[in-house]
Amino acid sequence: MGGTKALPRLQLEMDVYGLLNISIVVGCRPLIASSEFDPGPLSGSQHLSSLVRSCVDDRGPSTKKSVASAMSPTLMATHAEIRELLDVQEAKLKYASSAAKEVESLFRWSHLRWMAARTRLFEHWRDLVDATIDGSTNNHLDLALCQATMLFERCIFEDMHSLEMRFQLTRLTYAMVVASLQGIKPEFDITQAATDTRKYDLLWIYSVGAWVEDSFSAALSPSDTMQYAFFANQFTKLAAQLSFVSIGTMAPPLCENYLYIPKHQDKPLQRLLGINRQKPLSFRVQPLERKVS
């Protein structure tokens, strides 16, 4: 009868959000394919593209300097989609009070595009989990990179704007990242990080986790937040080994090669870099456990 494309736009948006969240909570593959509702990249709409460019063009020319990374092409593509959505977030904030039709279109586009990116990310995660379960490969670093991306996008697009159930699913993802890191082979030795090609992948994962831990502190009780310091510990140790003392020198490679939002992440991470010159954190993490079916 026409499938999802025949549904009224509002019903489609609600159905997609609900079905995807069911998949995430249960841990199964998405119940609806992203191709059924993905509105496509922003470049497909000249009007929407120009609206967003007006908010981000003042960043100046890109000076990207690539760093060694084990990130898969699939995850790189998802990162590119999320970066586009982060640009759109800036435009949505700027034009939030506007009643212009193109602004409404931008909001509607961004919701479905976000759901499509999340669906593809979750599909990729299931592929990695299935490969791990059948023992065909040791891909714990791939898993950690994927899960850190899941952690990042849920925190920035959902938890920071939600008044209820904040960080419930984020804490589950947090625990999965910790578990994946503990399974990396060969083990990542922070004391030998300078010569390890995985160092920037781990630095980014630790930076995401440390930022999320800092976000927890504003939403969880003190007794809850005390158990979340695993990433802050790892971040401060690795940053010290790589001789980073300022976020000004650390942020560019993270921003240019991974996912990073200076206005949200600079302050808490700079605070941790300052701890390097004092004393290391001593908390121990006791992450939540989640069985993957």
Asked whether residue 167 falls in the same domain as residue 103, the answer is no
Asked whether residue 110 falls in the same domain as residue 40, the answer is yes
Asked whether residue 18 falls in the same domain as residue 67, the answer is yes
Tell me the C-alpha distance between 37 and 32, whole Å: 9
In a domain, 1, yes or no: no
Amino acid 46: pLDDT: 73
- Is 244 in contact with 273 (CB distance < 8 Å)? yes
- Indicate yes or no: pTM above 0.75: yes
In a domain, 3, yes or no: no
Work out the mean pLDDT of the chain and round it to a whole number.
83
Radius of gyration of the chain (CA): 19
Q: Write out the residue range of the structural domain in which residue 254 sits.
A: 138-286
In a domain, 127, yes or no: yes
Asked whether residue 176 falls in the same domain as residue 115, the answer is no
Provide mean pLDDT across the span 128-157: 88
Structural domain ending residue among the three candidates 106, 137, 168: 137
Q: Which long-range contacts (CB under 8 A, 24 or more apart) does 278-284 make?
A: 280/233, 280/236, 280/237, 281/229, 281/232, 281/233, 281/236, 283/226, 283/227, 283/229, 283/230, 283/232, 283/233, 284/227, 284/229, 284/230
Provide mean pLDDT across the span 184-203: 94
* Structure confidence by residue, pLDDT tens digits, 13-51: 888 888 888 888 888 899 889 999 999 988 777 777 777
Asked whether residue 245 falls in the same domain as residue 262, the answer is yes
For the chain, percent of residues with pLDDT exceeding 70: 82
Give the length of the chain: 293
Tokens in use for 288? 């939540």
Asked whether residue 23 falls in the same domain as residue 71, the answer is yes
Asked whether residue 130 falls in the same domain as residue 150, the answer is no
Structural domain ending residue among the three candidates 92, 115, 137: 137
On the question of pLDDT at 1 being above 50, the answer is no
* Structure confidence by residue, pLDDT tens digits, 220-235: 666 666 678 899 999 9
Asked whether residue 257 falls in the same domain as residue 172, the answer is yes
Asked whether residue 90 falls in the same domain as residue 159, the answer is no
In a domain, 17, yes or no: yes
Amino acid 124: pLDDT: 95
On the question of pLDDT at 293 being above 70, the answer is no
Amino acid 272: pLDDT: 93
Tell me the C-alpha distance between 132 and 130, whole Å: 5
Amino acid 275: pLDDT: 66
In a domain, 292, yes or no: no
Provide mean pLDDT across the span 132-144: 82
Tell me the C-alpha distance between 244 and 260, whole Å: 17
Amino acid 28: pLDDT: 87
For the chain, percent of residues with pLDDT exceeding 90: 49
In a domain, 35, yes or no: yes
Asked whether residue 133 falls in the same domain as residue 196, the answer is no
Asked whether residue 186 falls in the same domain as residue 277, the answer is yes
Provide mean pLDDT across the span 101-130: 92
Asked whether residue 103 falls in the same domain as residue 125, the answer is yes
**Backbone angles phi and psi of 243, in degrees to 5:** 65, 30
Least confident of 12-21, 120-129, 174-183, 187-196: 12-21
Split into its structural domains, the chain has a count of: 2
Q: Choose from 126-135, 191-200, 277-286 the range with maximum mean pLDDT.
A: 191-200
* Structure confidence by residue, pLDDT tens digits, 80-105: 999 999 989 888 888 888 888 888 88
Three-state SS string across 2-39, please? CHHHHCCHHHHHHHHHHHHHHHHHHCCCCCCCHHHCCC
In a domain, 2, yes or no: no
In a domain, 31, yes or no: yes
Structural domain ending residue among the three candidates 137, 163, 179: 137
